[in-house]
Structure 1
Amino acid sequence: MSFGERLRERREQLNMSRRELADALGVSVSAIGNYETGVSAPKEEVLLRLFDCLQADPNTLYRDHFRGGKNVMTHDEQELLDRYRSLSAVGRDTIRSVMSALCAYRDEIEMARPLVEERRIPLYCSPAAAGFAAPVFGEDFDYISVSGDVPPAAEFAVRIQGDSMSPWIADGSVVYVNRDPLQIGDVGIFCVDGGMLCKQYYRDPLGTVYLFSLNRARADADVVLTADSGQTLISFGRVMMHRLPLPGKGKK
């Protein structure tokens, strides 16, 4: 038998209506109905008055509802209840007032706690040519709020334009990036001689760097930088996505 069922049974044993019990507790009749049907439970300050009104031991009402049928009250809790019951009506009212004040103070403390700080990262968003990441870093970005589905390690975001990385990175989509060192096969954000690109990274044993388009129909957008090319290559970070096979024989 549940707490609500025992409550109703004890109320009926005392020939007490829901209205009478509600008036004695200072709650609505619908609240009593909710207690008895299990829709809601009495607040702490109401429970003590409830036990008094029903002339019932808490363990009787809660038996078989919690802890596999064992008493729900510890020895210390039972002792406190016994002391409460030994007080006069004025003393009980004082205890209830103190309890209400403490509960209100607890609620104020909970409400005053700072909310979890909103997570924001920069989104680089200015237009760029097809296949290029946008824009030159340090310019033209907005802060965006990110939710739990964004990788926790993401440090910034970049909006990609063009089809050279499709279908894995669609035109206009946003990728999330961190500044971890790049490994072979990673997709990264690069600056080559001032131009920003999003490409897949490969470096051969001779030091030649290949920046591949994931869309092999756009192989014309690949970039190859030999050790003696004189070109400037800067890596801004790794795009946070699963690693894909490298194009070309031997580049896996």
Structure 2
Amino acid sequence: MSFGDRLREERNRLGLIQSDAAKAGGVGFTAYHTYEKGDRSPNVEVLQKWHEAGFDVLYLVTGVRNGAALSNEDSSLLAALNQTDERGRATAIAALRGALNAYSSFS
């Protein structure tokens, strides 16, 4: 399986469309499209941004899944969180902490 195939697979696992994956990597749509087609390879900065967005970069580069990779649902939520601005991120984190605290008090 090629890098482009693995990139497409990771994008789909995270529930992203190509333009969202491009944004997560800090590149334009055209550049992203060339990565999936296999015409170009991303640089380290793009890979780092994808890692921060929940992509399994070890898998993208080597074809070997990271044993510590998040579930599809967790990765998708993390990707969405990483694509919001600081205010949205702070609001989401506060809401999640509140929900977890409320849940633990019922357990």
Taking structure 2 as the reference length, the TM-score comes to 0.52
Match status 1:33 vs 2:36: no
Distance in 1 (CA, whole Å) between partners of 2:30 and 2:13 is 20
CA 54–36 in structure 1, closer or farther in 2 if over 3 Å, else same: farther
Give matches, 1:165-204, under 5 Å.
none
Match status 1:21 vs 2:21: yes
Pick the structure with more strand per residue: 1
Shift of 1:30: 1.1
Give matches, 1:3-152, under 5 Å.
3-58=3-58, 60-64=59-63
Q: Segments of 4+ in structure 1 off by > 2 A?
A: none
Task: Say if 1:25 and 1:49, in contact at 8 Å, map to a contact too.
Answer: yes
Task: Say if 2:50 and 2:57, in contact at 8 Å, map to a contact too.
Answer: no
CA 43–63 in structure 1, closer or farther in 2 if over 3 Å, else same: closer
CA 54–38 in structure 1, closer or farther in 2 if over 3 Å, else same: farther
Distance in 2 (CA, whole Å) between partners of 1:45 and 1:57 is 12
Shift of 1:24: 2.1
Secondary structure of the equivalent of 1:27?
Answer: coil
Distance in 1 (CA, whole Å) between partners of 2:7 and 2:45 is 17
Taking structure 1 as the reference length, the TM-score comes to 0.24
Task: Say if 1:11 and 1:54, in contact at 8 Å, map to a contact too.
Answer: no
Distance in 1 (CA, whole Å) between partners of 2:44 and 2:61 is 14
Distance in 2 (CA, whole Å) between partners of 1:54 and 1:34 is 21
Shift of 1:8: 0.5
Shift of 1:56: 1.0
Pick the structure with more helix per residue: 2
Secondary structure of the equivalent of 2:27?
Answer: coil
Shift of 1:53: 1.8
Shift of 1:9: 0.5
Secondary structure of the equivalent of 2:40?
Answer: coil
Task: Say if 2:47 and 2:57, in contact at 8 Å, map to a contact too.
Answer: no
* Greater gyration radius: 1
Q: Which has the higher contact order (CA 8 A, sep 6+)?
A: 2
Shift of 1:27: 1.0
Task: Say if 2:26 and 2:49, in contact at 8 Å, map to a contact too.
Answer: no
Percent identical residues = 35
